[in-house]
Amino acid sequence: MTYTFHMEKSKSSKVPLFWNKLKGFYSSFKKSKWRYLVYFALFVAYLYIYFFSLCGIPIWGDAPFAYKDESGHLVAGWIMIISVILAVAYLIYKAARRTITFSSVSKAIIFIALNAMVYYGFSMPVNSSLNKNDWWVGTHQGSHWEIVVHMWDEGPFAEPPLKADGTFDIANQYYQQKLWHYSVTLWAKFHDLFLDGVSSEPIEYFVNIGWGNFTYRMDLAFETIKIFQAMIAFWLYFFTYKIFERLGLKKWRLTLATFLFCFLPFYAYVPFIYNNDAMSLMFALMSFYFALRYYRSEKLLDLIVTAVAMGLGMMSKINAVLFAVPIAFIFLYDLIVRIKYKKGVKKFIFQMCVFAIIVFPLGLWYPIFEKTVYDEPFGYVLYPGDEYSSNYIDGSFFGVFDRYIGIFTSDFFTSPYKRDWGATVPASYGNVDFNVWTGLFKSALFGDCSVDTWHEGPLSLVATNATLIQNFWLMAILAFFILLGSKLFSLVLHGFKKANYSMLILLAIIFLTAYVNYVYFCMKFPFTSTMHFRYASMFMFPVFYVLAAKPSPIKNDDVPLMRQLEPTERFL
């Protein structure tokens, strides 16, 4: 009897023993540095299931994809609703077990935002008269699209087209850095290997515009680029969240900043503009994050990742170099501290040499190559038109204040979305947005689109609630200026001795770098198309930080994410 009882007890204990091991494994997994790669792998698997079940099934008729069918985007809508239900259920479960934290809320917010991004980006064909979204084929023939098609036919090192005089034509987008173009072309080529069941018949639309070899199979291969772009978006969310952590936000303040950047529409649509902006921003964010990590760790590996990410960002689009300004401040501050305490100066100089050896060749080889082979001027940017173009902005007519300084000028209140095109005259009020802040704000919400044209499919929800979305972010902007003013007043009231000057300078450098570059760009190219949030995406850090940070002056002791140095040394 004793033996039998012992065996029964042993069997009954197997379940809790297994459960305890499972809980132990999950607890270890949550602390692992590699958990985000697992999350990313699961996200990619989800993207493939989503795409090939809703977007990638060829159907008969004029529309090559099932997602243009009513049932396709209805199912996608239900997937979005279910994702919200799952996130809420997760929070209810955590609350019932009394384990809910602000970190849990942040994760739920990011989960919903990633699903919303996929729902938005993968639904674009529903809202277009073409078989691609409005930023891809048709309205922008030539552009980045033509480069990708050219690489598909001629290989990754396809040369620019020739002019009549035999010189290379670097106009359009051929002057751009090409890492993104190489990447998406190879991505489409890879998926083309597995699309044997798709029709190889030419698509009539492309035949009519001179691309007779563009088939349904090739079209589907290019459509898989949506998956690639959504993968980039995952890391946009991840690195922005981690940067806020590194800047000292925590608990509900980190959750607030997370909410703001997750539901700024810019994050949802920028990957699906289908150009090199999203990839460049991803690598720039990665570089900035690892620069913050390097300041704390002093590890050469963190510095190498910073250099590689910055170089790859510049290979995607030269705009990534803007993030080098705040990164340079971090390095300079670190050097000053080391010199002051006569500690680790030689090590730092050696590491900076390693950084330079990596970042300069990686980031600048392509402009040098273009200059050598195609005689492309350094810093060349295609001029969008002339003073008689319908999107030209006559600065002398609108004035310096209305154009570059004033926040709520008359164009701000005319529509919730940016009006890029007006009358074909040099200047006029009422039919085109002319203020740089108006263009920045409206493009952050709806890009370059006029949402009142979205009458069908998932994006009709955006059109229906456009004014509500605009008003929410208008209140956020007002809150930003009120809080910024109150914090500056608090600094004056309590004295500047308690302030973390290094943090304040870093935020100011980020803001001024974004503003000066953006205004210079708008002055050099006075067209509505240059007024866009993707040219000043660095604004997100100081704005969201001010909205979420403490109202009192930031003390050095409030920011634990730093090396264990003397209080006067502390930075981040």
Tell me the pLDDT band of 562, cut-offs 50, 70 and 90. Answer: very low
Task: Give the pLDDT of residue 1.
Answer: 47
In the chain, the largest separation of any two C-alpha atoms, in whole Å, equals: 101
Q: What angle do CA 160, 165, 170 make, to 5 degrees?
A: 25
Length of the chain measured in residues: 572
Confidence band, pLDDT 50/70/90 cuts, at residue 450: low
- pLDDT tens readout for residues 517-541: 999 999 988 988 889 898 888 888 8
> Which is higher by pLDDT, 312 or 448?
312
| pLDDT attached to residue 145 | 77
Res. 566: pLDDT tops 60: no
Residue-averaged pLDDT of the chain: 78
Give residue 572's pLDDT.
Answer: 45
Which residues have a Cβ under 8 Å from the Cβ of 1 and sit 6 or more positions away? none
Ordered by start, the domain boundaries in the chain are: 143-226, 277-382, 395-558
pLDDT for position 72 = 64
Question: pLDDT (tens digit, 9 = 90+) per residue, 401-420?
Answer: 999 988 888 888 887 778 88
The one-letter code for the residue type at 253 is R
The tens digit of pLDDT for each residue in 122-160 reads: 776 544 433 344 444 443 455 777 788 888 888 877 777
* pLDDT confidence of residue 447: 77
Rounded to an integer, the average pLDDT of 5-34 is 63
User: Per-residue pLDDT for 250 more than 50?
Assistant: yes
- Between residues 244 and 476, the one the model is more confident about: 244
Instruction: Let me know: does 295 contact 571? Beta carbons within 8 Å.
Output: yes
Terminal Cα-to-Cα distance of the chain (whole angstroms): 66
Residues 6+ apart with CB under 8 A from 558: 248, 500, 550
- Where do the H-state alpha helices sit in 163-299? 179-192, 204-208, 216-223, 225-246, 251-262, 265-269, 277-297
What is the pLDDT, as a whole number, of residue 140?
42
SS3 sequence, 511-525? HHHHHHHHHHHHHHC
pLDDT band with cut points at 50, 70 and 90 for residue 302: very high
The pLDDT > 70 percentage for the chain reads 78
**Tens-place pLDDT, residues 167-199:** 777 777 777 888 999 999 999 999 988 887 777
pTM for the model: 0.86
Residues ≥6 apart with Cβ < 8 Å to 88? 108
**pLDDT tens for each residue of 86-127:** 999 999 988 888 888 888 888 899 999 999 888 878 776 544
Residue of 275, 272, 236, 224 lying closest to 459 (CA atoms): 272
Mean pLDDT in residue range 162-168: 74
